[in-house]
Chains A and B, each alone.
Chain A
Amino acid sequence: MKRKRSHNLNNLLLFLVIALFVPLIFGSNQYNILLITTVLIYGVMATSWNIIGGLAGQLDLASFAYLGLGAFTSSTLFIRFNLTPWIGMILGGLVAVAFALFIGFPLFRFRIRGVWYALTTTALVEVLKVVFNMWEEVGGPVERYLPYFSGSIKYMRFGSYIPYYYLILGMLVIALLVNSRIAHSKLGFYLKALGEDETAAEVLGVNARACKLRALVYYAFLIGVTGAIYSNIYGYVHPSFFNGPESIKVAILGIVGGRGITYGPLLAALLLVGAQEFLRASLGGEVSGLYLVIYSVILILVVLFKPRGIATFFQDRNKKPAKQEVKKKNVV
């Protein structure tokens, strides 16, 4: 297991080195940087989703609820009280956590799981969207633009997308490290166990409700903070940040990438969202909607040939000799 971890760490370092140089290559075109940042935002969200959806096996479809809460908290504090988003993003994460606890406590208390958990969390995004549409003091149907100070580091207003890219990259590294740390700890084993069979886990001493709540807290905090950065990148907040279909997409990325595999969701985000954004940018003008067709074909291929996730493609290759051994032993 130790060796596997250091192997993963090497992969992470390799990824980081490449990612650090991306702005040097594409830096001349701000639009490209924004596209790549968007891909990484999905990477952060899917990686965070992996804690509750991959490890704990809860089909959570509310990721953009926490993103929106983080965005609105930080932006409102910025617009109304001139509070710097550097503090606002932490508060945004905390508000997302508070909301997650408020929702998670009754959900897990009454053992809502499976499809019912998925339906409840989907509804959550829509409910928040309506609430923020009506709540004129904070949201309302009109976009609220953040104050613009050109090149102000103090207020996270950079005037270029490159610093935002590095901020999101930082969030991604944090999300990956949190994921990997949880996966190799007591909480991770408990989450995996209750994801497979909650009753069996409970008689082995797993407090299912407490473990699921802790997973939800990590997930909500990471996405809440990302939400605050998200609103700064785009420079405004709007109730459409509570985006149901995109929340489902985050879950799809987590599943397609490989549930419970630390770097799986990131891989899926790079591949699928990357392909989608690239195709939309390159084909969008000529054949509108074609990018969706190609995106779907990639999705179907993955589900057909790698149902346990894209990441298993690399795992299986590393493990091939071991698998043959398994077969031999079974015959004996």
Chain B
Amino acid sequence: MLSEQILKTSKLTKRFGNLIAVNQVDIEIKKEEIIGLIGPNGAGKTTFFNLITGLEAPDEGQVIFKGTNITAMSPHTICKLGMSRTFQVAKSFTEMSVEDAIRVGAYNRRGEEEVQNKVDWVLKFFELEDIRDFKCSDLGLSSLRKVEVARAAATEPELLLLDEVGAGLTATELLKLMSELKRLNQETKITLCIVEHVMQMVMGLCERIFVLDAGELIAKGIPSEISNNQRVIEAYLGRGRYSEPSSTG
């Protein structure tokens, strides 16, 4: 059960004119894993998410989700199948209350009779009950991020893609978010895939990590392997004196 595959991409490619944003990327994610996807700015992480969730169509390759080819499907169909995501730049429903925003997600799997129960459960799980009547435009960044995760979790996905949820948060907020994501993964068996720049979060949370650089998958493995991987260090810090200690003596 644990080793069962939930998502697989094969030779996934996306070009914008001459720029190859995502180049022949093959990854596979197993059920109930927490996966990290890292890479320098412009590595193609967000484009990769867009390809998987149907917001953009790939030029080549396939996305297989739970054994179904979802390559040309629309985002809402993919969500019905059990995949949702958050956005790097928070796309909040500013004029809606926190509760209503979560309700939009909860309607994905629940009818009118059950939807309120689901909303209450999500509000409780993410400790948003105190601010349930607040308008999203009145929220600070950390609450806003949390509402976005809660909203996506309310759709009851099997795979949840989080695009830089930790960006801009303070250290304590980050720790709290990490523990909530961990709990979400353990209690609801949701598979998580996290794009993140905050290394503390990636290394502390993820079981396996994929590294993208200039659209290519350059490394994959457990966190300790990744942090010692020569290509990953080069991708982040550049090639130069640092990576050629032998030639200079």
Contact = CB atoms under 8 A, between A and B. Distances in A.
A83 interface: no
A193 B84 contact: no
B244 interface: no
Contacts of B101: 193
B23 interface: no
B76 A200 contact: no
Contacts of A204: 79, 84, 104-105, 108, 151-152, 154-155
Contacts of B53: 203
Interface size class of A (residues with CB under 8 A): 20 to 34
B138 A326 contact: yes
B86 to A, nearest CB: 8
A197 B92 CA distance: 7
A193 B76 CA distance: 13
Interface size class of B (residues with CB under 8 A): 35 or more
Interface string B71-93: 00011101110001101000111
Contacts of A203: 53, 55, 75-76, 78-79, 84-85, 152
A317 interface: no
B107 A189 contact: yes
A326 B152 CA distance: 25
A173 interface: no
Contacts of A193: 93, 96, 101, 104
A206 to B, nearest CB: 6
A200 B102 CA distance: 12
A326 B107 contact: no
Contacts of A196: 92-96
Interface string A64-90: 000000000000000000000000000
A185 to B, nearest CB: 7
A326 B80 CA distance: 35
Interface string B139-178: 0000000000001101100000000000000000000000
Interface in B15-63: 53, 55
A201 B104 contact: yes
Contacts of A206: 76, 104
Interface in A181-218: 185-186, 189-190, 192-193, 196-197, 199-208
Nearest to B154: A204
18 contacts: A190-B107, A192-B100, A193-B104, A196-B93, A196-B94, A197-B92, A200-B93, A201-B104, A202-B55, A202-B75, A203-B53, A204-B105, A205-B79, A205-B84, A207-B74, A260-B95, A326-B134, A330-B138
